[in-house]
Amino acid sequence: MVWLPASTHWKFLRKIAVTQMFTSQRLDASQALRGKKVQELLEYVHENCNNGQAVDIGKSVLTTVLNLISNTFFSHDIASYNSDLSQEFSYLVLGVMEYIGKPNIADYFPILRLVDPQGVRRKTNNYFKRLNHILDSIISERNRLRSSSVASKACHDVLDALLILVEEENTELSFADIKALLRDFFMAGSDTTSSTVEWAMAELLLNPDKLVKAKTELQEVDGPMVHLTLASLVHSFDWKIADGLTPQDIDMSETFGITLHKREPLQAIPMKT
């Protein structure tokens, strides 16, 4: 949907996104889920705190956001903080975002597109192929569940709603459209959030006085729990930079892409407040 030109089909997909993903009922229903996923992030950080281990801020937040989106769409986690195997989805999402935003000489000299001298098109297609394979497996498993004797245990999530639309007569929605929508929201929702939180944490660690001020302001907020990811990380822990570095040693250079990522991932050690 993101890359489609303005057309009737593009308008149709936008309508599907609005009516199936961004309704007030859907957002209200996911409020508890958002709190749960942030709490899981805090538990992971607390475990690292007890062990004195550094946390990769960007990677941890990316895992949290991917699981929030995946639970909203198809009711189960798709990434894990401690499992390299389940990080494949994270790797593929980041790979797509990196190569889509990578400067490509073939964009300036169209005659080179067939040659693909930098391999950008080939690598991007490979990431998409592997990502589609995972989504195909998820959709196939859901279809199997819906057609089995345990169909009454269907999750009634976004994927269920989209599959119901596909089964309607004269529908314009296809399985390819479902995969495209899922890809768009995973890439747009996860990458931007994780990189924003990582940059914000880097700025706070670079300026300790601002970190202290932020913690003080958060202590004045009423409520049993602050669900926002950045606020929760700042409010729940004190932080120091890994490897004995000082704030002035933080590398604030970036790499170019659809979003700007830190060239060096932010590694910070959480401490009990």
- In-domain check, residue 3: no
Mean pLDDT of 139-155: 75
- In-domain check, residue 143: yes
pTM of the model: 0.86
- In-domain check, residue 41: yes
Residue 222 confidence (pLDDT): 47
Residue 223 confidence (pLDDT): 45
- In-domain check, residue 1: no
pLDDT tens digits for range 96-130: 888 888 888 998 999 999 999 999 999 999 999 99
Instruction: Give the separation between CA 237 and CA 185, rounded to whole angstroms.
Output: 30
Asked whether the predicted pLDDT for residue 47 surpasses 90, the reply is yes
Residues 6+ away with beta carbon under 8 Å from 233 = 41, 42, 45, 57, 197, 201, 239
- In-domain check, residue 170: yes
Average pLDDT over the chain reads 86
Into how many domains does the chain fold? 1
Asked whether the predicted pLDDT for residue 151 surpasses 80, the reply is no
Higher pLDDT, 154 or 197: 197
Range of the domain at 101: 8-272
Residue 220 confidence (pLDDT): 67
Asked whether the predicted pLDDT for residue 253 surpasses 90, the reply is yes
Q: What is the DSSP code (8-state) at residue 5?
A: P
Instruction: Give the separation between CA 4 and CA 11, rounded to whole angstroms.
Output: 10
Asked whether the predicted pLDDT for residue 170 surpasses 60, the reply is yes
Token pair of 133 as six digits: 């394979």
Residue 109 confidence (pLDDT): 93
Mean pLDDT of 254-272: 87
From residue 52, how far is each of 38, 45, 49, 95, 231 by CA, in Å? Answer: 21, 10, 5, 30, 21
Mean pLDDT of 10-28: 83
pLDDT tens digits for range 198-243: 999 999 999 999 888 888 877 666 443 344 788 899 989 999 999 8
Q: Which of helix, strand or coil describes residue 255? A: strand
Residue 134 confidence (pLDDT): 92
Residue 94 confidence (pLDDT): 83
- In-domain check, residue 81: yes
Whichever domain contains 116, its CATH number is 1.10.630.10
The DSSP-derived string for 43-95 is HHHHHHHHHT--EEHHHHHHHHHHHHHHHHHHSS----SS-SGGGHHHHHHHH
**CA nearest neighbour of 201 among 249, 262, 271:** 262
What is the helix (H) or strand (E) element at residue 241, kind and residue range? strand 237-241
Instruction: Give the separation between CA 253 and CA 66, rounded to whole angstroms.
Output: 25
- In-domain check, residue 131: yes
pLDDT tens digits for range 58-97: 999 999 999 999 998 988 898 888 766 557 888 888 888 8
